[in-house]
Structure 1
Amino acid sequence: MKLRLHLFEFEDQPWFPAVIRAGMMDYLRFMITRLHTYRPIAPLLAEGLRRTDQTNVLELCAGAGGGAEDVLLTLQKLGLAEACITLTDLYPQPEAWAHIRRQTGGAIGFAPASVNALQVPAELPGFRAVFSAFHHFRPAMAEALLRDAVLAGRGVGVFEGAGKHWLELLLACTVMPVALLLITPFIRPFRLSRLVFTYLLPLIPLFTIWDGMISILRMYPPDTLLALARRADPEERYVWQAGKKRHSWGPEVTYLVGWPK
């Protein structure tokens, strides 16, 4: 699917209730972790860390930290025993992040203050990574995110947990709501609000289904990702790769990675 439509997503709106956003992010974190969504791109991320002499992944737009634990474990299995991850977001979620920090013995930490992915503070080092969030940015802002990494001399990778197919749209509006209703009681940390807004007043499922479908329509295909990277790096100081990696059981991950030559 080459078509890209930047339609309305509730999660993007500053007025959107934080309690509903947190419930949506908790669900995505649970699913991304349990399905091992980003395991196929871990070797690319490991290569980026080695080529930039880094051990820390600076995750931008981290949401609730979905997949961070699985990515960390896979990096360690690939020989990066000292690998660690720092979670950041424009809308920080310290409660969810503190749970992840405890689960990983501090190997996954976080920056408690708001972090703009287009203007990352210099005091936050590491290989910059964006999981399941690059589609939120319109082309000019997506290019600015990449340019900020280039100007800082940081490695950067953007990863979307889908291959942008029509079948994925169908799954988003059929399988996703059923999965959300089934797994919500098992998501940790426990929140009473998550149960209320899932079963009594089902705002979390409704908004998750809508935003999930729009996210797929917003995704950039690999050739567009490369075009954005080249505009962000007009002096061609970076090596860029873009494409798709497939799970052994079918689903794909779309990616762009770059590091200084």
Structure 2
Amino acid sequence: MRVRLRLFEFEDLPWFPAVIRAGMMDYLRFMISALGTYRPIAPLLAEGLARTHQTQLLELGAGAGGGTETVLAALRAHGQLNTTITLTDLYPQPAAWADIARRTHGAIGYEPAVVNALAVPAHLAGFRTIFSAFHHFPPAAAKALLRDAVQARTGIGVFEGAGKHWAELLLAVTVLPVAQLLLTPFFRPFRLSRLVFTYLIPIIPLCTIWDGSVSLLRMYSTNELLALAQAADPTGQFVWQAGKKQHWWGPQVTYLIGWPAIQSTVTLVAK
């Protein structure tokens, strides 16, 4: 799928009801975690942590924290035994994050204050990551996000849980909505509002269908990701890689990852 459309997503709108946004994020967290969507990129993150001599990941645009526990487990399986993760977002979800922190005994923590991914506060250190959210940023903002990481001299990894194929768009409007209706009662923590706005007034599934479809249409290709990286880092302070990683059962993860270069020349690699 080469087309890229700048349509709106409900969850981006500042007036969008927090209770609906939370319900949508709960679904996304459940599916990403259950499917182990981001497990294939663990070796890339492990290399990034090793090259930057860090043990802390700073997750930007964390939403409800979907898949973060899977990523942590996969990193530890790749030798990063002391890795910890801090969740942040422009729309913090401390209730959902506190549950993750409890389950991981504090290995995954969170910043309760609002965090703008384009200007991360200096006290929030760590190798930066952004999962399933980079497509929300138009090119100018996406470049600013990457530039902020370059200026902070910290590594950054951008990951989207899809390969941008038409078949994925078909799934987003057929199979996945049915899965959402079947699985919603099992989402934790329990929210009565989630049941009300899924079954009695189905705003959550309808908005999820729209946002899920638009997300695929807004995704950057690997070449576009590399172009953004070069624009954000014109003097070649970082080494950049972009490509796709295949999950063992089929789906792909599109990624861009970069860390400070030893030499001053830039390296752009599409894989």
Report the TM-score when normalising by structure 2. Answer: 0.96
In 1, the alpha carbon distance for the partners of 2:81 and 2:69 equals 14
In structure 1, the residue matched to 2:217 is 217
In structure 2, the residue matched to 1:130 is 130
In 2, the alpha carbon distance for the partners of 1:92 and 1:243 equals 30
In structure 2, the residue matched to 1:161 is 161
Q: What is the CA deviation profile of residues 32-64 of structure 1, one whole-angstrom value per residue up to 9, with x for unaligned ones?
A: 000000001110011001100110110000000
Structure 1 residue 100: deviation in Å?
0.3
In 1, the alpha carbon distance for the partners of 2:12 and 2:220 equals 17
Matches within 5 A, 1:2-41: 2-41=2-41
Q: What is the CA deviation profile of residues 128-175 of structure 1, one whole-angstrom value per residue up to 9, with x for unaligned ones?
A: 000000000000000000000000101001000000000000000001
Q: What is the CA deviation profile of residues 3-31 of structure 1, one whole-angstrom value per residue up to 9, with x for unaligned ones?
A: 11010111100000000000000000000
In 2, the alpha carbon distance for the partners of 1:41 and 1:228 equals 20
Q: Does 1:45 align with 2:45?
A: yes
Structure 1 residue 120: deviation in Å?
0.2
Structure 1 residue 2: deviation in Å?
1.6
In 1, the alpha carbon distance for the partners of 2:49 and 2:136 equals 25
In structure 2, the residue matched to 1:86 is 86
In structure 1, the residue matched to 2:265 is none
Q: Percent identity between the aligned chains?
A: 73
Counterpart of 1:49 in 2: which secondary structure? helix
Counterpart of 1:105 in 2: which secondary structure? coil
In structure 2, the residue matched to 1:71 is 71
Q: Which runs of 4+ in 1 moved over 4 A?
A: none
In 1, the alpha carbon distance for the partners of 2:51 and 2:209 equals 38
Q: What is the CA deviation profile of residues 74-104 of structure 1, one whole-angstrom value per residue up to 9, with x for unaligned ones?
A: 0011111101110000000000000000010
Counterpart of 1:245 in 2: which secondary structure? strand
Cα RMSD, aligned residues only: 0.4
Q: Look up the equivalent residue of 1:155 and give its one-letter code.
A: G
Report the TM-score when normalising by structure 1. Answer: 0.99
In structure 2, the residue matched to 1:195 is 195
Structure 2 portions without partners, runs of 5+: 262-271
In 2, the alpha carbon distance for the partners of 1:179 and 1:47 equals 35
Q: Does 1:151 align with 2:151?
A: yes
In 1, the alpha carbon distance for the partners of 2:61 and 2:6 equals 18
